[in-house]
Structure 1
Amino acid sequence: MRRDHHPHCRGSRLRSGLRARCHADISDRESSDRRGNLHGCSGGANAVRSARPLRPHRPRTRPRRRIGRRRPIDRVIFLVLPTVEILDLAGPLQAFAEANALSPRYAIKTVSTHTKVDSAQGVTLSNLEQLTPASENSLVVVPGVKYAATERTDRRVTEWLRDAYDAGATIASVCTGSFIVGQTGLLDGRRCTTHWSRIKDLARRFPRAHVLDDRLFVRDGRIVSSAGIVSGIDMALAMIEAQHGPLVASQVAREMVVYIRRDGSQGQSSIYLDFRTHMNPGVHRVQDWLIQNPQTKASLEKLADISGMSARNLTRLFRQATGVSIKAYATRIRLELARTLRSDPTLSMEAIARRCGFSDARQLRRLWHGFAVARPLPLRSVMAMKRKKSEEDVRREVAQVKKEIEALEERAEELGQSFWSLDEVQLARKVRGETSKSPFIFAQSWTSGAFVGSNASYSVSVRNPDPTGYSFVYVTIFFGLGDFFSADQAWIGRDTRWPAVSSDRTFLSPNTSQTFSFTYPLPSLLRGTYNGNSLVWSRGGTLFDRTSFDIKLL
């Protein structure tokens, strides 16, 4: 729990080395202000200003740098190599082309070492351009090829990719394209992913890369990698959204008939596929109808007519085939649609609820939390599975997290964002379990100033230092109270004029880190500095860790 130690001042910044509530060196007396009031409880009419800036635990070891913004991407170059996978190329290509159809945004090129290339599916691609130099405003996309072709990559390709990166370009790979990027050395020390069937091969061939499984796409600085095939579309939509906002990305998704747009932290699965592994045609017809009509409340008799069986038989066979009831499946579909629509800043919670077939926003929130959370492991059971780490283990883990922090800071610098992270001493104490519960927050980056009506971004990195994983973990950002003791108390005291955004249900694997990224619209409020909060929590308001950040409305 972060502490506030001096009066409010406009334009405050979150500093390095913030104190935590669970630190032994903070007394109860220090947790109140000079008048004896608990911080954040003297609110007044303007509750959002009740949160005060946070004091650094120790001075920064280096001065804060002024972060410059990169030039926006307006040039997309697709590298087409022999045995290219058609969908790896066509999916992202179509996404950027649809963005251009809405309004000219990108100059799109297809380049290769040959003027004519045969794809893995036997389709010949011709009239390809030569390898032209890339620049800072370029995005180079490397679609996947047959795996055998990654073992004999043309040297001209690796040199061209390295030169493109050195010139400031962003490099993105789809599926086995990550193996081609890996041969340039650009994956060393970076987080990356590939198709699930080639995860072990990627880790074996490039041991210096941090290979992540069960991810759709991963961005680490100017290197982006995506999983298999269709996830290249998800990656392209995310990059379009990052530059042009969620409205443009959603328009592109609708034009491509991409019903659901998933983010990079979501696993390589979908509600639309998870319950479709059975062979019952009648149940499939009902599922198709529910997906196409999420806002419509159909009677069991109507669904029975669609399936071609009796209502009683449908109820029995649907649960037998999918493992869930018809009502539970329909609710999951609606909640998945709500998760997608909440990225649209023009829609209120009431509007989202109506579009998804809920009676009102209250029902949506109730069902959201009811389906999204599950009972965590009892704390004493988790503690029993922990083991005391040796100092060598602590040093090794701290060194690994420091590398991750360096990559995160580089990315924040590229995006023109403010950045904060734990220092080495604090990190070692948290890895040992001396100063916090697990998991814990070790870094965050955010838009520190933006104009009213625009979008702002926030990312927070969470570490699980334990040998056991944590199920059903969430990250939520909101604005309002600057001090609280539980997630429930924070939620009740939030400033409802600001959006509150939560991540999907997440499993934190043992001894791993995960970054959660959010984009949210800025409300029409008076100019000034407002306090935001980020929570890592689980069911029942169990609060693992929290941190704060400031954003200035211009």
Structure 2
Amino acid sequence: MTERTLLVVLFDDVQSLDVTGPVEVFQGAALACGDRSAYRIRTASLDGSPVRTSSGLTLVPDGSLMDASTPHTLLVPGGEGTRRPDPRLVDWLRDNAPQTGRLVSVCTGALLLAEAGLLDGHRATTHWRACDHLAGAYPKVDVEPDPIFVRDGRISTSAGVTAGIDLALALVEEDLGRDIALTVARHLVVFLRRPGNQSQFSAQLAAQTATRDPLRAVQHWVTQHPEADLSVESLAERAGLSPRHFARAFHAETGTTPGRYVERVRLEHARRLLEDTADGVTKISRACGYGTSEAMRRAFVKALGVAPAEYRRRFRGPAQQPAH
């Protein structure tokens, strides 16, 4: 089996989960395939000294970046330390990262890559809070704020924190196959795998949570009953308000209209069913409130650019398609 070396960059105020999440995925993959050499993982700081994470944990690196050999995969995590990068670290990345086989950043680690000029001319993402800064400070980077991860050639960047696990699972699937990646995902009790173009937000996170109990209860009820009558009139009656008052209040408190919120919930639910079940498109369309498979197809094409069957094929691969 091919040996892949993985070097993880450490620095003060690094986000600990940006480090440990992907490391657990790659180490788990090596164990799952029965070959510990599948991934040889090392951590390194500039001078080999321990670093203190943003949560207060101390990480002890395996060695110094200055002494590290060129890895197959270089992983740059994020954290508060990326806001005030050590110029020596940026110089090291600029000089050494181009020689690696694969360059990966998690969360705001993309800011370090951008500062070193490594993302110029490439598509990239980062934590949603840092996307505007990345785009404004580094105009040569094609920033995509919505996806949980973006892969552009040998460079892969992910959104905040747990998105690094999604990206690591995608890389393991590429290296060792879906079965190994699925074994790791099950062990970590995470999904295999949220596709890279999935939004950084669920429907509920994308919208603000209403402050008033009746509106907040309606939001929750919608997510639990996507198949129901979710017209403004029906939801207004549930909230005990007139349709006009309800629509105004819902938009004021959540930042989106009731109709748009319902669209997001139904699409999100349909995607989960396509990913996790063998149910046919017609059955899923009814379970999600679309009524017909054609209505669901239109919603998918509008939001994602692909039909439901194609979405399932891309997510699950041909070997995992349901029988017809």
In the superposition, the TM-score normalised over structure 1's length comes to: 0.44
| Distance in 1, Cα, partners of 2:133 & 2:21 | 24
Question: Is the Cα contact below 8 Å between 2:74 and 2:104 reproduced in 1?
Answer: yes
Taking a change above 3 Å as real, the CA distance of residues 184 and 334 of structure 1, as seen in their structure-2 partners, is: closer
1:224-271 CA distances to partner (integer Å, 9 max, x unpaired)? 111222221221122122223333333322322224732222222124
Which one-letter code corresponds to 1:145 in the other structure? G
Structure 1 counterpart of 2:70: 134
| Distance in 2, Cα, partners of 1:239 & 1:91 | 13
Are residue 83 (structure 1) and residue 13 (structure 2) matched? yes
Of 227, 230, 238 in structure 2, the residue corresponding to residue 316 of structure 1 is 238
| Distance in 1, Cα, partners of 2:8 & 2:44 | 6
1:5-45 CA distances to partner (integer Å, 9 max, x unpaired)? xxxxxxxxxxxxxxxxxxxxxxxxxxxxxxxxxxxxxxxxx
What SS does the corresponding residue of 1:155 show, helix, strand or coil? helix
| Distance in 1, Cα, partners of 2:62 & 2:163 | 24
Larger radius of gyration: 1
Of 12, 23, 30 in structure 2, the residue corresponding to residue 100 of structure 1 is 30
| Distance in 1, Cα, partners of 2:138 & 2:265 | 43
Question: Is the Cα contact below 8 Å between 1:192 and 1:218 reproduced in 2?
Answer: yes
Between 1:178-187 and 1:249-258, the stretch displaced more is 249-258
Are residue 162 (structure 1) and residue 84 (structure 2) matched? no
Of 270, 283, 300 in structure 2, the residue corresponding to residue 363 of structure 1 is 283
Structure 1 counterpart of 2:231: none
| Distance in 1, Cα, partners of 2:281 & 2:240 | 29
Taking a change above 3 Å as real, the CA distance of residues 255 and 316 of structure 1, as seen in their structure-2 partners, is: farther
Question: Is the Cα contact below 8 Å between 1:95 and 1:233 reproduced in 2?
Answer: yes
| Distance in 1, Cα, partners of 2:101 & 2:187 | 28
Structure 2 counterpart of 1:269: 201
What SS does the corresponding residue of 2:317 show, helix, strand or coil? strand
Taking a change above 3 Å as real, the CA distance of residues 128 and 151 of structure 1, as seen in their structure-2 partners, is: same
Question: Is the Cα contact below 8 Å between 1:158 and 1:180 reproduced in 2?
Answer: no
Structure 2 counterpart of 1:42: none
What SS does the corresponding residue of 1:76 show, helix, strand or coil? strand
What SS does the corresponding residue of 1:241 show, helix, strand or coil? helix
Question: Is the Cα contact below 8 Å between 2:108 and 2:126 reproduced in 1?
Answer: yes
- TM-fit CA distance, 1:119: 0.9
Structure 1 counterpart of 2:104: 172
Question: Is the Cα contact below 8 Å between 1:194 and 1:227 reproduced in 2?
Answer: yes
Which one-letter code corresponds to 2:270 in the other structure? L
Of 154, 157, 169 in structure 2, the residue corresponding to residue 225 of structure 1 is 157
| Distance in 2, Cα, partners of 1:125 & 1:254 | 27
Of 178, 186, 194 in structure 2, the residue corresponding to residue 246 of structure 1 is 178
Of 352, 355, 367 in structure 1, the residue corresponding to residue 278 of structure 2 is 352
Taking a change above 3 Å as real, the CA distance of residues 271 and 199 of structure 1, as seen in their structure-2 partners, is: closer
Structure 2 counterpart of 1:340: 275
| Distance in 2, Cα, partners of 1:370 & 1:228 | 33
1:391-445 CA distances to partner (integer Å, 9 max, x unpaired)? xxxxxxxxxxxxxxxxxxxxxxxxxxxxxxxxxxxxxxxxxxxxxxxxxxxxxxx
Which one-letter code corresponds to 1:112 in the other structure? S
| Distance in 2, Cα, partners of 1:275 & 1:196 | 14
What SS does the corresponding residue of 2:284 show, helix, strand or coil? helix
Q: Which structure would you say has the larger RCO, counting Cα contacts within 8 Å and 6 or more residues apart?
A: 1
Which one-letter code corresponds to 2:56 in the other structure? G
Question: Is the Cα contact below 8 Å between 1:188 and 1:209 reproduced in 2?
Answer: yes
Tell me the C-alpha RMSD between the 2 structures: 4.2
1:353-401 CA distances to partner (integer Å, 9 max, x unpaired)? 1xxxxxx56423665643452499xxxxxxxxxxxxxxxxxxxxxxxxx
What SS does the corresponding residue of 2:27 show, helix, strand or coil? helix
Are residue 195 (structure 1) and residue 127 (structure 2) matched? yes
Among the aligned pairs, what percent are the same residue? 29
1:384-399 paired onto structure 2 within 5 Å: none
Of 298, 301, 314 in structure 2, the residue corresponding to residue 373 of structure 1 is 298
Structure 2 counterpart of 1:443: none
Are residue 146 (structure 1) and residue 80 (structure 2) matched? yes
Higher percent of residues as strand: 1
| Distance in 1, Cα, partners of 2:169 & 2:275 | 13
Question: Is the Cα contact below 8 Å between 1:84 and 1:145 reproduced in 2?
Answer: yes
Which one-letter code corresponds to 1:124 in the other structure? T
Which one-letter code corresponds to 1:199 in the other structure? C
Question: Is the Cα contact below 8 Å between 1:133 and 1:164 reproduced in 2?
Answer: no
Question: Is the Cα contact below 8 Å between 2:9 and 2:44 reproduced in 1?
Answer: yes
Structure 1 counterpart of 2:58: 124
Which one-letter code corresponds to 1:119 in the other structure? T
- Aligned pairs, how many? 286
1:177-215 CA distances to partner (integer Å, 9 max, x unpaired)? 112112332212111122222223222332322222222
- TM-fit CA distance, 1:82: 0.9
Question: Is the Cα contact below 8 Å between 2:275 and 2:315 reproduced in 1?
Answer: no
What SS does the corresponding residue of 1:141 show, helix, strand or coil? strand
Which one-letter code corresponds to 1:89 in the other structure? V
| Distance in 2, Cα, partners of 1:375 & 1:234 | 22
Question: Is the Cα contact below 8 Å between 2:267 and 2:300 reproduced in 1?
Answer: no
Which one-letter code corresponds to 1:212 in the other structure? E
In the superposition, the TM-score normalised over structure 2's length comes to: 0.70
Which one-letter code corresponds to 2:283 in the other structure? Q
Q: Which runs of 5+ in 1 are unaligned?
A: 1-70, 300-311, 342-350, 354-359, 377-470, 478-499, 505-516, 524-554
Taking a change above 3 Å as real, the CA distance of residues 153 and 96 of structure 1, as seen in their structure-2 partners, is: same
Which one-letter code corresponds to 1:277 in the other structure? T
Structure 2 counterpart of 1:182: 114
Higher percent of residues as helix: 2
| Distance in 1, Cα, partners of 2:222 & 2:182 | 24
Which one-letter code corresponds to 1:337 in the other structure? R
| Distance in 1, Cα, partners of 2:177 & 2:240 | 39
| Distance in 1, Cα, partners of 2:12 & 2:272 | 39
1:290-327 CA distances to partner (integer Å, 9 max, x unpaired)? 59xx9xx9x9xxxxxxxxxxxx99x8259978947xx9
